Structure 1
């Protein structure tokens, strides 16, 4: 089994047809079918079920698809890393970032880094903190941008300054909330929308404030929180810097005065692993 076979198999899985996969790969159909048969013979399992129009992956095929994606991502990342080594500071830096980091990262780090090193390009993967940590551990990305709190004992870490959480809402939820700051307790009885990763923190902090929150929606993206709040479904709780990430023309926000709900962005990278000069320079700009 080699990289070429895995690329062939993954293309077949993505297209659902050997004919379409062959067309995408710019090869004839018979050689592609033969490669699939050779792969099944080598592994000793059936990878696909052939139907009249489409093929479907078997359980073994699904396992191979997941592993093939990981192997090919790592292969591509390795090639880019070696290429970057040859080019110096004129290559591609692979980073991962949580959705709520975008506005602050672009303003404080990416813009300044690009101004200093205009020849550097980026490959960006987005996801929640758990996905970013997985990508780091698999070597797909060199640097992850995540939000506190998180656990990553095998990582080095560099933090930005802390920022408050805000309550983003339409006017119908703000009539009894005066000033630009509010306490968490003032949200008692109001429908809340928040990022699932902050669920335990928000629930515990509400309990400490003496109430059980009314949760309208938990989700996996700060932008979803803001979109739902902008549509009037409830009050979105997000880091302050995330406010500009999504539509907010109907929203106002108030800072939540509670130190336990403060958060910060952090750049993380695996301890004792080779780091490219691009990644090293990028981390120095992270502040």
Structure 2
């Protein structure tokens, strides 16, 4: 499959219209239609259903679109990396993954210094959970990332960041837990909990509470805090979170209550062991080493 055809397909999928896609690609509509039919013949499946001038992706088309996004992004990044090597550190690009945490401020501080010293360098920040970010690291879509422990980092070089993250419950101000200074293991039985889908985090809480996972009243899982805050507000449940994920962003009717005994974990800067670093990425990591190693 040619990258050119993949790019044509992805543009059609984004616009849902052959005419608009052809205009964006600066080719004629008949040419683009022929290229699409050629791709469908090559794959042996229909990628779009057609209704007048509107196109809708088939199940196969949806699958190819998700793969095309990754492949085209990786291709663009690889091309950029070769350009980086030619231009050294006078210009370049770095893709960074970062969890929701207090250490997001650490990343902002380091980037501020880095782009000030190298103003031609551009960057991209991808936010998500540690598992999602690790998946993108594996695919080569990210250069470095800040992950939240507990997390398996066997495949990565790591640098532990100095600011620890405090765990607790995000609760409604109307709940009994909001009137407590701390949450203790005895408070958990029967309490409806929303927690990360990551097994490491679930086990962390179970070990702290001295119970098995199935003894926790987990009513739902989430990845980022933004979407779970309204559920906390309406007392659907309490959300297990780190303070840094919601600091400065939680509404006035929601409170963060820390766990006691305290659970504090670190964030780590990671990058792939076997991957050759571009000069830009290597220099960015050096900034972290000098600041925190």
CA, structure 1 residues 112+235, in 2 after alignment: closer, same or farther (shift >3 Å)? Answer: farther
Equivalent-residue separation in structure 1 for 2:43 and 2:254 (angstroms): 56
1:219 matches 2:222: yes
Aligned equivalent of 2:241, options 225, 238, 242: 238
1:31 matches 2:31: yes
Q: Secondary structure in 2 aligned to 1:132?
A: helix
TM-score for the superposition, normalised by structure 2: 0.82
How far off is 1:166 after superposition? Answer: 2.2
Alpha-carbon displacement from aligned partner over 1:45-78 (angstroms, at most 9, x marks no partner): 4433434343344454444333322221111101
Alpha-carbon displacement from aligned partner over 1:124-179 (angstroms, at most 9, x marks no partner): 22222222122111111111222112224322222224332022333322578543
- Structure 2 residue aligned with 1:148: 149
Equivalent-residue separation in structure 2 for 1:115 and 1:85 (angstroms): 20
Equivalent-residue separation in structure 2 for 1:263 and 1:242 (angstroms): 13
Instruction: Work out whether residues 202 and 213 of structure 2, in 8 Å CA contact, stay in contact via their aligned partners in 1.
Output: no
TM-score for the superposition, normalised by structure 1: 0.83
* Corresponding residue pairs, total: 285
Alpha-carbon displacement from aligned partner over 1:230-269 (angstroms, at most 9, x marks no partner): 454443321122222633322333321346x432212221
Alpha-carbon displacement from aligned partner over 1:189-242 (angstroms, at most 9, x marks no partner): 433333222334324433439994333442111223344334544433211222
1:94 matches 2:95: yes
Instruction: Work out whether residues 172 and 253 of structure 2, in 8 Å CA contact, stay in contact via their aligned partners in 1.
Output: yes
- Structure 1 residue aligned with 2:277: 275
1:71 matches 2:71: yes
Which consecutive residues of structure 1, in runs of 5 or more, have no partner in the other structure? none
Root mean square deviation of aligned Cα: 3.0
Q: Secondary structure in 1 aligned to 2:159?
A: strand
- Structure 1 residue aligned with 2:128: 127
Equivalent-residue separation in structure 2 for 1:183 and 1:223 (angstroms): 25
